Amino acid sequence: TLQQECSSKMNPLQTKNTTFKSDTIMLVVQTSQHYSFQILSLQQGKILEKLGICNDFAVLRAAVDGIPPWRDSKLLIKDLTVDEVPLRIYQPKSPPTSKRRGILYFHGGAGTFGSISKKWASFIFQVKSKPLHFSLQACVNQCLYRLSPEHPYPGQYFDCLSATLYFMRNLEEYHVDPGLIIVSGDSCGANFATVICQILLNDRDLPKVRAQVLLYPGLQGLDFQLPSYQQNAFGPILPRKLVIYFCFRYLNRKPTVLKDIIQNCHVPESMRQKYKKWVTVKEILAGTFSPLLAEDSIICQLPESCIVTCEFDVLRDDGLLYKKRLEDNGVPVTWHHCKHGFHGILAFFGYGIFSLFICIDGIRWRTQLLRSLTAHPLKLHHEFRFQG
Protein backbone atom coordinates (compact mmCIF):
# COMPACT_ATOMS: atom_id res chain seq x y z
CA THR A 1 0.00 0.00 0.00
CA LEU A 2 0.98 3.63 -0.32
CA GLN A 3 1.26 4.01 3.45
CA GLN A 4 3.60 1.01 3.69
CA GLU A 5 5.65 2.32 0.78
CA CYS A 6 6.12 5.71 2.42
CA SER A 7 7.03 4.10 5.73
CA SER A 8 9.56 1.79 4.10
CA LYS A 9 11.14 4.74 2.32
CA MET A 10 11.92 6.22 5.71
CA ASN A 11 13.56 3.10 7.14
CA PRO A 12 17.07 3.88 5.82
CA LEU A 13 16.96 7.09 7.81
CA GLN A 14 16.88 5.27 11.14
CA THR A 15 20.64 5.33 11.59
CA LYS A 16 22.79 7.34 13.94
CA ASN A 17 20.66 9.45 16.26
CA THR A 18 22.37 12.80 16.72
CA THR A 19 20.65 15.29 18.99
CA PHE A 20 21.37 18.84 19.99
CA LYS A 21 19.78 19.52 23.39
CA SER A 22 20.04 23.28 23.35
CA ASP A 23 18.79 23.38 19.79
CA THR A 24 15.89 21.10 20.68
CA ILE A 25 14.81 23.47 23.47
CA MET A 26 15.01 26.42 21.10
CA LEU A 27 13.09 24.44 18.47
CA VAL A 28 10.22 23.79 20.88
CA VAL A 29 10.10 27.40 22.05
CA GLN A 30 10.34 28.96 18.60
CA THR A 31 7.87 26.59 16.92
CA SER A 32 5.37 27.11 19.74
CA GLN A 33 5.69 30.89 19.45
CA HIS A 34 5.46 30.78 15.67
CA TYR A 35 2.41 28.50 15.70
CA SER A 36 0.65 30.56 18.39
CA PHE A 37 1.30 33.72 16.39
CA GLN A 38 -0.03 32.10 13.22
CA ILE A 39 -3.23 30.78 14.83
CA LEU A 40 -3.85 34.07 16.65
CA SER A 41 -3.47 35.98 13.39
CA LEU A 42 -5.92 33.69 11.60
CA GLN A 43 -8.46 33.90 14.44
CA GLN A 44 -8.27 37.69 14.45
CA GLY A 45 -8.66 37.64 10.68
CA LYS A 46 -11.79 35.48 10.91
CA ILE A 47 -13.35 37.93 13.35
CA LEU A 48 -12.60 40.85 11.03
CA GLU A 49 -14.00 38.87 8.09
CA LYS A 50 -17.30 38.27 9.94
CA LEU A 51 -17.47 41.99 10.63
CA GLY A 52 -17.07 42.62 6.91
CA ILE A 53 -13.81 44.53 7.35
CA CYS A 54 -11.35 42.27 5.49
CA ASN A 55 -10.69 38.62 4.65
CA ASP A 56 -9.36 36.09 7.14
CA PHE A 57 -5.75 36.33 5.95
CA ALA A 58 -5.40 40.10 6.33
CA VAL A 59 -3.82 40.06 9.80
CA LEU A 60 -1.40 37.25 8.96
CA ARG A 61 -0.36 38.99 5.75
CA ALA A 62 0.18 42.29 7.52
CA ALA A 63 2.44 40.62 10.07
CA VAL A 64 4.46 38.73 7.45
CA ASP A 65 4.74 41.67 5.05
CA GLY A 66 5.70 43.93 7.95
CA ILE A 67 9.18 42.37 7.95
CA PRO A 68 11.27 44.82 5.90
CA PRO A 69 13.30 43.49 2.96
CA TRP A 70 16.91 42.77 3.79
CA ARG A 71 19.32 45.27 2.29
CA ASP A 72 22.99 44.54 1.83
CA SER A 73 25.56 47.05 0.62
CA LYS A 74 27.28 44.30 -1.38
CA LEU A 75 24.11 43.46 -3.29
CA LEU A 76 22.40 45.01 -6.25
CA ILE A 77 18.65 44.61 -5.63
CA LYS A 78 16.31 45.52 -8.45
CA ASP A 79 12.51 45.75 -8.08
CA LEU A 80 10.41 45.72 -11.23
CA THR A 81 6.96 44.75 -12.47
CA VAL A 82 6.23 42.34 -15.32
CA ASP A 83 2.63 41.85 -16.46
CA GLU A 84 1.45 43.44 -13.19
CA VAL A 85 3.54 40.96 -11.18
CA PRO A 86 6.22 42.41 -8.84
CA LEU A 87 9.68 40.85 -9.16
CA ARG A 88 12.81 41.31 -7.09
CA ILE A 89 16.19 40.44 -8.59
CA TYR A 90 19.31 39.97 -6.45
CA GLN A 91 22.82 40.21 -7.92
CA PRO A 92 26.29 40.67 -6.45
CA LYS A 93 27.60 44.19 -7.10
CA SER A 94 30.99 42.80 -7.98
CA PRO A 95 31.50 42.48 -11.76
CA PRO A 96 30.93 38.90 -12.95
CA THR A 97 34.07 37.00 -13.90
CA SER A 98 31.94 34.49 -15.80
CA LYS A 99 28.31 33.70 -16.48
CA ARG A 100 26.24 33.27 -13.31
CA ARG A 101 23.66 30.75 -12.25
CA GLY A 102 20.10 31.97 -12.60
CA ILE A 103 17.80 30.99 -9.73
CA LEU A 104 14.04 31.46 -9.93
CA TYR A 105 12.49 31.24 -6.48
CA PHE A 106 8.81 31.07 -5.49
CA HIS A 107 7.93 31.68 -1.85
CA GLY A 108 5.54 29.57 0.22
CA GLY A 109 2.38 30.58 2.05
CA ALA A 110 -0.35 28.27 0.68
CA GLY A 111 -0.97 30.69 -2.17
CA THR A 112 -2.78 32.95 0.30
CA PHE A 113 0.00 34.84 2.10
CA GLY A 114 3.75 35.24 2.01
CA SER A 115 6.39 37.73 0.98
CA ILE A 116 9.53 37.94 -1.10
CA SER A 117 11.39 39.78 1.65
CA LYS A 118 12.35 36.94 4.02
CA LYS A 119 12.87 33.78 1.99
CA TRP A 120 15.85 31.71 0.99
CA ALA A 121 16.74 33.61 -2.16
CA SER A 122 17.83 36.51 0.03
CA PHE A 123 19.14 34.25 2.80
CA ILE A 124 22.08 33.10 0.70
CA PHE A 125 23.27 36.71 0.70
CA GLN A 126 22.80 37.15 4.47
CA VAL A 127 25.11 34.50 5.94
CA LYS A 128 27.82 36.58 7.58
CA SER A 129 30.06 33.66 8.54
CA LYS A 130 30.70 32.83 4.92
CA PRO A 131 30.39 35.19 1.93
CA LEU A 132 28.16 32.84 -0.04
CA HIS A 133 27.12 35.57 -2.42
CA PHE A 134 30.69 35.69 -3.77
CA SER A 135 31.22 31.93 -3.96
CA LEU A 136 27.79 31.20 -5.45
CA GLN A 137 27.83 33.98 -8.07
CA ALA A 138 24.13 33.72 -8.74
CA CYS A 139 21.36 35.97 -9.95
CA VAL A 140 18.20 35.31 -7.94
CA ASN A 141 14.76 36.21 -9.27
CA GLN A 142 11.86 36.22 -6.80
CA CYS A 143 8.23 36.54 -7.85
CA LEU A 144 5.59 38.17 -5.64
CA TYR A 145 2.70 36.31 -7.25
CA ARG A 146 -0.78 37.61 -6.49
CA LEU A 147 -2.61 35.88 -3.68
CA SER A 148 -5.87 33.99 -3.33
CA PRO A 149 -8.76 34.43 -2.62
CA GLU A 150 -8.65 37.97 -4.11
CA HIS A 151 -6.85 36.56 -7.17
CA PRO A 152 -8.41 33.12 -7.69
CA TYR A 153 -6.50 29.94 -8.45
CA PRO A 154 -4.82 29.22 -10.86
CA GLY A 155 -3.75 32.83 -11.32
CA GLN A 156 -0.69 32.23 -9.12
CA TYR A 157 0.75 29.87 -11.73
CA PHE A 158 0.28 32.40 -14.51
CA ASP A 159 2.13 34.99 -12.42
CA CYS A 160 4.99 32.58 -11.76
CA LEU A 161 5.09 31.62 -15.43
CA SER A 162 5.22 35.29 -16.48
CA ALA A 163 8.15 35.88 -14.12
CA THR A 164 9.92 32.80 -15.45
CA LEU A 165 9.45 33.72 -19.10
CA TYR A 166 10.70 37.27 -18.50
CA PHE A 167 13.82 36.03 -16.76
CA MET A 168 14.61 33.34 -19.33
CA ARG A 169 14.22 35.81 -22.18
CA ASN A 170 16.55 38.36 -20.56
CA LEU A 171 19.44 36.18 -19.37
CA GLU A 172 22.05 38.27 -21.15
CA GLU A 173 21.03 41.39 -19.21
CA TYR A 174 21.71 39.59 -15.92
CA HIS A 175 24.85 37.75 -17.09
CA VAL A 176 23.19 34.36 -16.58
CA ASP A 177 24.42 31.14 -18.18
CA PRO A 178 21.46 29.65 -20.15
CA GLY A 179 22.73 26.21 -19.16
CA LEU A 180 22.50 26.99 -15.44
CA ILE A 181 18.88 27.94 -14.78
CA ILE A 182 17.47 26.55 -11.53
CA VAL A 183 13.76 26.69 -10.65
CA SER A 184 13.01 26.40 -6.94
CA GLY A 185 10.58 27.13 -4.14
CA ASP A 186 9.43 26.12 -0.68
CA SER A 187 6.09 24.59 0.37
CA CYS A 188 3.42 25.70 -2.12
CA GLY A 189 6.16 27.67 -3.88
CA ALA A 190 7.80 24.30 -4.56
CA ASN A 191 4.47 23.20 -6.02
CA PHE A 192 4.59 26.20 -8.37
CA ALA A 193 8.21 25.40 -9.29
CA THR A 194 7.23 21.80 -10.08
CA VAL A 195 4.38 22.88 -12.34
CA ILE A 196 6.53 25.50 -14.10
CA CYS A 197 9.17 22.86 -14.89
CA GLN A 198 6.49 20.59 -16.33
CA ILE A 199 4.98 23.41 -18.41
CA LEU A 200 8.36 24.52 -19.82
CA LEU A 201 8.91 21.08 -21.33
CA ASN A 202 6.61 22.14 -24.17
CA ASP A 203 8.54 25.32 -25.00
CA ARG A 204 11.42 24.50 -27.32
CA ASP A 205 12.36 28.15 -27.85
CA LEU A 206 13.61 28.64 -24.28
CA PRO A 207 16.73 27.27 -22.58
CA LYS A 208 16.23 24.02 -20.72
CA VAL A 209 15.95 24.16 -16.95
CA ARG A 210 19.14 22.75 -15.41
CA ALA A 211 17.56 21.62 -12.13
CA GLN A 212 14.50 21.95 -9.93
CA VAL A 213 15.05 22.42 -6.19
CA LEU A 214 12.02 21.72 -4.02
CA LEU A 215 11.94 22.45 -0.27
CA TYR A 216 9.30 20.48 1.67
CA PRO A 217 6.92 20.58 -1.32
CA GLY A 218 3.16 20.14 -1.24
CA LEU A 219 2.36 18.23 -4.41
CA GLN A 220 -1.07 16.64 -4.08
CA GLY A 221 -4.48 17.16 -2.51
CA LEU A 222 -5.86 13.67 -2.92
CA ASP A 223 -4.73 11.74 0.13
CA PHE A 224 -4.64 13.22 3.63
CA GLN A 225 -4.11 9.81 5.24
CA LEU A 226 -0.49 9.30 4.21
CA PRO A 227 1.85 8.30 7.08
CA SER A 228 3.24 11.82 7.35
CA TYR A 229 -0.28 13.24 7.65
CA GLN A 230 -1.17 10.73 10.35
CA GLN A 231 2.09 11.07 12.30
CA ASN A 232 2.07 14.88 12.23
CA ALA A 233 -1.68 15.51 12.24
CA PHE A 234 -1.41 17.67 15.36
CA GLY A 235 2.12 18.94 14.86
CA PRO A 236 3.09 22.61 15.14
CA ILE A 237 3.33 25.07 12.25
CA LEU A 238 1.23 23.02 9.81
CA PRO A 239 -1.22 20.50 11.33
CA ARG A 240 -3.39 18.48 8.96
CA LYS A 241 -6.59 20.50 9.46
CA LEU A 242 -4.74 23.72 8.70
CA VAL A 243 -3.41 22.25 5.43
CA ILE A 244 -6.94 21.43 4.31
CA TYR A 245 -8.19 24.84 5.43
CA PHE A 246 -5.48 26.53 3.38
CA CYS A 247 -6.42 24.36 0.36
CA PHE A 248 -10.05 25.47 0.61
CA ARG A 249 -9.16 29.14 0.88
CA TYR A 250 -6.59 28.85 -1.92
CA LEU A 251 -9.29 27.39 -4.20
CA ASN A 252 -11.69 30.09 -2.93
CA ARG A 253 -14.08 27.55 -1.42
CA LYS A 254 -15.75 27.55 1.97
CA PRO A 255 -14.14 24.98 4.34
CA THR A 256 -17.40 23.21 5.22
CA VAL A 257 -16.48 19.52 4.95
CA LEU A 258 -13.09 19.29 6.68
CA LYS A 259 -13.83 15.93 8.36
CA ASP A 260 -14.89 14.31 5.08
CA ILE A 261 -11.80 15.63 3.31
CA ILE A 262 -9.53 14.25 6.04
CA GLN A 263 -11.04 10.80 5.41
CA ASN A 264 -10.51 11.23 1.64
CA CYS A 265 -14.26 11.17 0.97
CA HIS A 266 -13.71 13.79 -1.75
CA VAL A 267 -11.93 11.28 -4.01
CA PRO A 268 -14.12 9.17 -6.34
CA GLU A 269 -13.49 5.42 -6.22
CA SER A 270 -12.42 5.44 -9.88
CA MET A 271 -9.69 7.97 -9.09
CA ARG A 272 -8.55 5.98 -6.06
CA GLN A 273 -8.11 2.94 -8.26
CA LYS A 274 -6.25 4.85 -10.96
CA TYR A 275 -3.79 6.52 -8.59
CA LYS A 276 -3.63 4.00 -5.74
CA LYS A 277 -0.07 3.17 -6.81
CA TRP A 278 0.94 6.70 -5.81
CA VAL A 279 -1.73 8.12 -3.51
CA THR A 280 -5.31 8.83 -4.15
CA VAL A 281 -13.53 17.75 -7.13
CA LYS A 282 -12.20 18.97 -10.17
CA GLU A 283 -9.46 21.45 -9.16
CA ILE A 284 -7.81 18.85 -6.89
CA LEU A 285 -7.11 16.62 -9.90
CA ALA A 286 -5.66 19.41 -12.04
CA GLY A 287 -1.99 19.27 -12.89
CA THR A 288 -1.54 22.78 -11.53
CA PHE A 289 -2.72 21.62 -8.09
CA SER A 290 -1.39 18.05 -7.90
CA PRO A 291 1.73 17.87 -10.12
CA LEU A 292 2.64 14.61 -8.37
CA LEU A 293 0.04 12.96 -10.65
CA ALA A 294 1.60 14.06 -13.94
CA GLU A 295 1.90 11.34 -16.57
CA ASP A 296 5.12 9.35 -16.88
CA SER A 297 5.64 10.86 -20.33
CA ILE A 298 6.09 14.23 -18.61
CA ILE A 299 7.99 13.07 -15.52
CA CYS A 300 10.68 11.31 -17.57
CA GLN A 301 11.62 14.58 -19.32
CA LEU A 302 12.16 16.62 -16.15
CA PRO A 303 15.60 17.99 -15.21
CA GLU A 304 17.83 16.82 -12.39
CA SER A 305 15.95 17.34 -9.15
CA CYS A 306 16.82 18.20 -5.57
CA ILE A 307 14.21 17.55 -2.89
CA VAL A 308 14.29 18.54 0.78
CA THR A 309 11.95 16.78 3.22
CA CYS A 310 11.48 17.18 6.98
CA GLU A 311 10.61 14.39 9.41
CA PHE A 312 8.00 16.36 11.38
CA ASP A 313 6.09 17.68 8.39
CA VAL A 314 2.69 16.60 7.08
CA LEU A 315 4.01 17.20 3.54
CA ARG A 316 7.00 14.89 4.02
CA ASP A 317 5.53 12.03 2.00
CA ASP A 318 4.58 14.28 -0.91
CA GLY A 319 8.30 14.86 -1.40
CA LEU A 320 9.12 11.18 -0.94
CA LEU A 321 6.52 10.06 -3.45
CA TYR A 322 7.71 12.58 -6.03
CA LYS A 323 11.28 11.45 -5.43
CA LYS A 324 10.23 7.88 -6.20
CA ARG A 325 8.30 8.89 -9.31
CA LEU A 326 11.32 10.78 -10.63
CA GLU A 327 13.67 7.89 -9.89
CA ASP A 328 11.31 5.38 -11.50
CA ASN A 329 11.42 7.50 -14.65
CA GLY A 330 15.21 7.79 -14.73
CA VAL A 331 15.53 11.37 -13.46
CA PRO A 332 18.61 11.98 -11.22
CA VAL A 333 17.52 13.02 -7.72
CA THR A 334 19.44 14.51 -4.82
CA TRP A 335 17.50 13.99 -1.60
CA HIS A 336 18.13 15.84 1.65
CA HIS A 337 16.13 14.67 4.68
CA CYS A 338 16.18 16.75 7.84
CA LYS A 339 15.51 14.23 10.59
CA HIS A 340 14.77 16.86 13.24
CA GLY A 341 13.20 19.32 10.82
CA PHE A 342 9.64 20.59 10.54
CA HIS A 343 7.63 22.46 7.95
CA GLY A 344 8.73 26.03 7.33
CA ILE A 345 12.20 25.77 8.88
CA LEU A 346 13.38 28.63 6.66
CA ALA A 347 11.32 30.98 8.82
CA PHE A 348 13.73 30.22 11.68
CA PHE A 349 16.83 31.31 9.78
CA GLY A 350 18.32 34.78 9.93
CA TYR A 351 18.23 35.42 13.68
CA GLY A 352 21.97 35.28 14.33
CA ILE A 353 22.88 33.21 17.37
CA PHE A 354 19.18 32.41 17.84
CA SER A 355 18.90 30.63 14.51
CA LEU A 356 18.33 26.89 14.69
CA PHE A 357 21.36 24.81 13.72
CA ILE A 358 19.25 22.63 11.42
CA CYS A 359 18.25 25.74 9.45
CA ILE A 360 21.81 27.00 9.05
CA ASP A 361 23.06 23.59 7.99
CA GLY A 362 20.18 23.20 5.56
CA ILE A 363 20.98 26.53 3.91
CA ARG A 364 24.66 25.60 3.73
CA TRP A 365 23.81 22.23 2.17
CA ARG A 366 21.60 23.76 -0.46
CA THR A 367 24.09 26.46 -1.38
CA GLN A 368 26.85 23.87 -1.76
CA LEU A 369 24.56 21.77 -3.92
CA LEU A 370 23.81 24.72 -6.22
CA ARG A 371 27.52 25.47 -6.49
CA SER A 372 28.11 21.87 -7.60
CA LEU A 373 25.73 22.17 -10.55
CA THR A 374 27.54 22.65 -13.82
CA ALA A 375 26.17 23.50 -17.23
CA HIS A 376 26.26 19.80 -18.09
CA PRO A 377 23.84 17.57 -16.14
CA LEU A 378 25.42 15.06 -13.80
CA LYS A 379 24.57 11.41 -14.33
CA LEU A 380 25.18 10.43 -10.73
CA HIS A 381 22.42 9.79 -8.23
CA HIS A 382 22.91 11.45 -4.88
CA GLU A 383 21.11 10.82 -1.62
CA PHE A 384 21.88 12.83 1.50
CA ARG A 385 20.59 11.60 4.83
CA PHE A 386 21.24 14.59 7.00
CA GLN A 387 20.58 13.79 10.65
CA GLY A 388 20.26 17.37 11.90
Residues that are catalytic: 187, 313, 343
Give the containing element (helix H, strand E) for 78.
strand 75-82
Which residues are 333's β-sheet partners? 305
Please report the sign of the dihedral spanned by the C-alpha atoms of residue 314, residue 316, residue 320, residue 326. Answer: positive
With the CA atoms of 370, 374, 376 and 378 taken in that order, what torsion angle do they form, in degrees rounded to the nearest 10? -60
Write b or e for each residue in 308-345: b if 16 or more Cβ atoms lie within 10 A of its Cβ, otherwise e. Answer: bbbbbbbbbbbbbbbbebbeeeebbbbbbbbbbbbbbb
DSSP letters of 141-195? EEE----TTTS-TTHHHHHHHHHHHHHHT-TGGGTEEEEEEEEEEETHHHHHHHH
* φ, ψ (nearest 5 deg) of residue 61: -65, -45
